[in-house]
Amino acid sequence: MEPSSIAAGLTHPLAPLRADEVRRATEIAKQDQGLGPTARFVFITLREPPKAEVMAWDGDTELERLASVLIWERSEHMAYEGVVSLTDDAVVSWEPRPGVQPPIMFEEFTACEDLVKQDARFQEALAKRGVTDMDLVMVDPWAAGYETAAEDPSRRLVRPITFVRSGPDDNGYARPVEGLIALVDLDRMEITDFEDHGVVPLPPNPGNYAPELMYTDDNVPLFDGPRTDVKPLEITQPEGPSFTIDGHHLTWQKWDLRIGFTPREGLVLHQVSYRDGDELRPVIYRASLSEMYIPYADPRPTHYRKNVFDEGEYGVGVLANQLELGCDCLGDITYVDGVVNDNDGEPVVLKNAICIHEEDDGIAWKHTDFRTEKAEVRRLRKLVISFIATVGNYEYGYYWYLYTDGTIHYEVKLSGIISSGALPVGETPTHGALVAPGLYGPHHQHFFCVRLDMAVDGMENSVYEVNSEAVPPGEDNPYGNAWVTKATLLESESAAQRTIDPLAGRYWKIANPNKRNMLGEPVAYKLMPGGNVGHFFKADSQQGRRGAFATKHLWVTPYDESQMYAGGDYPNQHPGGDGLPAYTAGDRPLENTDVVLWYVFGAHHIVRPEDWPVMPVTRIGFELKPVGFFVGNPNLDLPRPGSAHCAHHAHNGHAA
């Protein structure tokens, strides 16, 4: 899928926009459309060429370089979608999108906080709670959602939540201001509604996690200092890493792929292929996080409206961390920058946004012949491609792992600080768990949807659900021990809306019926669910209407380049029904075609005291494993470990 060589000076069609291209797209849009200062640039990103053109590209000619531009025109209260040709210095298309709200912009975060803190009603309400220093007040602008027509997208709204620090570097999330809620119109920069549900005392204890701040209010240290028995752990590769990266083209062991980055999705993998002998065999054309949805389960006034689409309402790419060696990534690290835009349309380079490195992952395979006492063992290695985003109080780490045995693993690591609530000291929350006196974490869930544009040995694939079943007693099961696997073709979009069943060992197989292995069976990969959970919101609730994609764990659609996001293009203030429910309404056929898998997995967060003041990392994800894709174990050709680290090879006369 990757041309063997690219002519000098040519840009790969899937390479993310460079900083100069972002700036040029802004200049072209401003000049062509006469944009003034009220036109705010939400996202500027590569408009990927049609898949057929990319697949046919030979590396010798330049495909037209296009940029997608998303504008919020404040003076008109209107979103515009533009396509700019960087090749021809021209606007290709410019379309208004009435009735939608683009993601909330960073400049709106700070402006909203300033506005709320200056409001006399807000200051009076805080004074009732003993708070008078506005410099210590934190106002987090949460997306407004859509409960009633009051949140209609004809207005651009957020519903901020308030916290109070005890000092400039204090963890303000330790002291939430319960029941105090403003509704802010971001275009007019005015508070359109204000709720105060009564004074709840601020929780008394600090919740700091930096060592120099870990003291009680009585200035008593919370612990004796950092551990002194942690010895250095060095990860070195004297000859350097085994992977190579040329621009955004990454090769490692037998894997070959491209790295992408967008302001909405963050890290994207393109053209993921595995070199099998002389053949570069495709597995996935494009893989990305399609949406994140976090519904809360607490009916109290501050919390029941919380149902946020962190990707579609904010954008995880623009919130990516700039990673640091030895902290976020350990070992022989290669970093790749991410390029996004500010709201003036200027490029912003996120240094070290993407981390690439190798890790040892235990044994790949082993067998000891007990008769000869000879052992063979190989070490498993994985390539890690990751980025981390900070979305308000939460941290999310997104990790793609490629293994030498052909496995692909996607993992999300959740950390950061819970979105907290306050209640009088001595009370116990019904819909959450206490983490400190007067402080609790509301029950909530995190649903992630990954979009997998599959290409298992080609673009024509079929998807099967595979379950294990016990054979009924009788002639086929005379001893009561027999069980079989049953594969069911998911023929249409309605048939392919599925949930997990770990008791049946359920997985989904993506097969290419046009390519057969040496056993005469279609080559395939299987999607193996990891930890997962169901939803608990009602279908007619705000959470149910807006987050309907989270009611199923698997969706399958035919490829459509316009269908990218599980919650729809514009979930901000959307009443619901867009995204996957709308995409699949036509019940299109799926057999032997270009299919896209959408896998939804959920983290079920019943908060623990150990999650405070900052959460230990929780991991959740899934795997894609080859099934008949290879002839035998693809790890069989791994070299023996060196004798210095694996003495039994030397003892058996097999020193490497």
Chain centroid to CA 232 = 32
For 430-439, letters b (16+ CB in 10 Å) and e give ebbbbbbebb
Phi first, then psi: what are they for 554, rounded to 5°?
Answer: -130, 135
CA atoms within 13 A on the CB side of 158: 28
Helix/strand/coil (H/E/C) assignment for every residue in 582-600: HHHHHCCECCCECEEEEEE
Q: What are the structure tokens assigned to 295, written together?
A: 């519904």
CB 14 within 8 A of CB 339: no
Q: How far apart are CA 193 and CA 179, in angstroms?
A: 13
**Catalytic-labelled residue, pool 314, 394, 396, 583:** 394
Q: For 66-69, which contacts have Cβ atoms below 8 Å and span 24 or more sequence positions?
A: 66/92, 67/17, 67/21, 67/22, 67/25, 68/43, 68/44, 69/25, 69/26, 69/29, 69/41, 69/43, 69/44
Q: How far apart are CA 295 and CA 308, in angstroms?
A: 7
Active site residue 394: yes
Residue 7: which residues within 8 A CB-CB, separation 6 or more? 59, 60, 61
Question: H or E stretch including 94?
Answer: strand 90-97
**Catalytic-labelled residue, pool 310, 457, 569, 611:** 310
Among left, alpha and beta (phi > 0; psi -120 to 50; other), residue 68 is beta
The Cα-based distances of 516 to 485, 496, 523, 631, 637 in angstroms read 20, 24, 6, 11, 23
Q: How far apart are CA 631 and CA 583, in angstroms?
A: 37
Q: Can you spell out the DSSP letters for 355-400?
A: EEEEEEEEEEEEEEETTTTEEEEEEEEEEEEEEEEEETTEEEEEEE
Residue 49: which residues within 8 A CB-CB, separation 6 or more? 13, 14, 63, 64, 66
Q: How far apart are CA 392 and CA 75, in angstroms?
A: 28
Which residues participate in catalysis according to the annotation?
Answer: 310, 394
